[in-house]
Amino acid sequence: AQSVTQLDSQVPVFEEAPVELRCNYSSSVSVYLFWYVQYPNQGLQLLLKYLSGSTLVKGINGFEAEFNKSQTSFHLRKPSVHISDTAEYFCAVSGRNDMRFGAGTRLTVKP
Amino acid sequence: GAVVSQHPSRVICKSGTSVKIECRSLDFQATTMFWYRQFPKQSLMLMATSNEGSKATYEQGVEKDKFLINHASLTLSTLTVTSAHPEDSSFYICSASSGFGRTEAFFGQGTRLTVV
């Protein structure tokens, strides 16, 4: 079975600063990796995904992530955040027939 | 992306009654659907995985008789919380995939269940 660890439960940053949300995974099989964003009382919206090919993946809203197989990581980055990026972010790994989520990182962007 | 509709978005029920939550894939055939439960400020906990036409596979610790899952068609899965109790109050989210979990899963908007 696969598992996901999000290393930071909360990340406060100032507006226009860069941010990195960290994610590590473990799996005995090859996996697909995802980042989702969740706003209060809503479902999840896909930011980006890694299925194969280039290890640098670009997503919506200016986010990108890099798949590092040797370090089993899939960290999410944004060079300049906005107030509207304040939300909960979940890293997820998909294996043979399920999808597992990390505990989430609460990103708070301050003015 | 594909659209998954979850209904209702909010429901309040009395203790001891049953509640059904629907999850529909509107523009694709969902081979696999997942049901998650999310407690406040916590991550999504996978409750069960269902493949169309088969019995759901429940995660350890999830009561099959309490959380009934039906995936009778490629576009509809239902979760019924039977004999609900206040501790069942939670946010329930479904997701649907056209592949066997390895492709992207699309999420419904969630259902806030409150048992009083």
pLDDT tens for residues B73-84?
A: 889 999 999 999
Distance from CA of A95 to the nearest CA of B (A): 6
Q: How far apart are CA B52 and CA B70, in angstroms?
A: 9
Distance from CA of A105 to the nearest CA of B (A): 9
The alpha carbon torsion through A67, B98, B53, B56 (nearest 10 deg) reads 30
Q: What is the DSSP letter of B59?
A: P
Q: How far apart are CA A108 and CA B56, in angstroms?
A: 37
Average pLDDT of every residue of chain B: 90
Query: What pLDDT is attached to residue B79?
Result: 97
- B81 residue type, one letter: V
Q: How far apart are CA A51 and CA A69, in angstroms?
A: 12
- Helix, strand or coil, per DSSP, at residue A61: helix
Average pLDDT over residues A21-31: 88
B44, B100, B108 member nearest A90 (Cβ) = B44
Using an 8 Å CB-CB cutoff, list residues of chain A that contact chain B: 32, 34, 36, 41-46, 49, 51, 90, 94-104, 106
| pLDDT tens by residue, B35-86 | 999 988 788 898 998 888 788 999 999 999 999 999 888 899 999 999 999 9
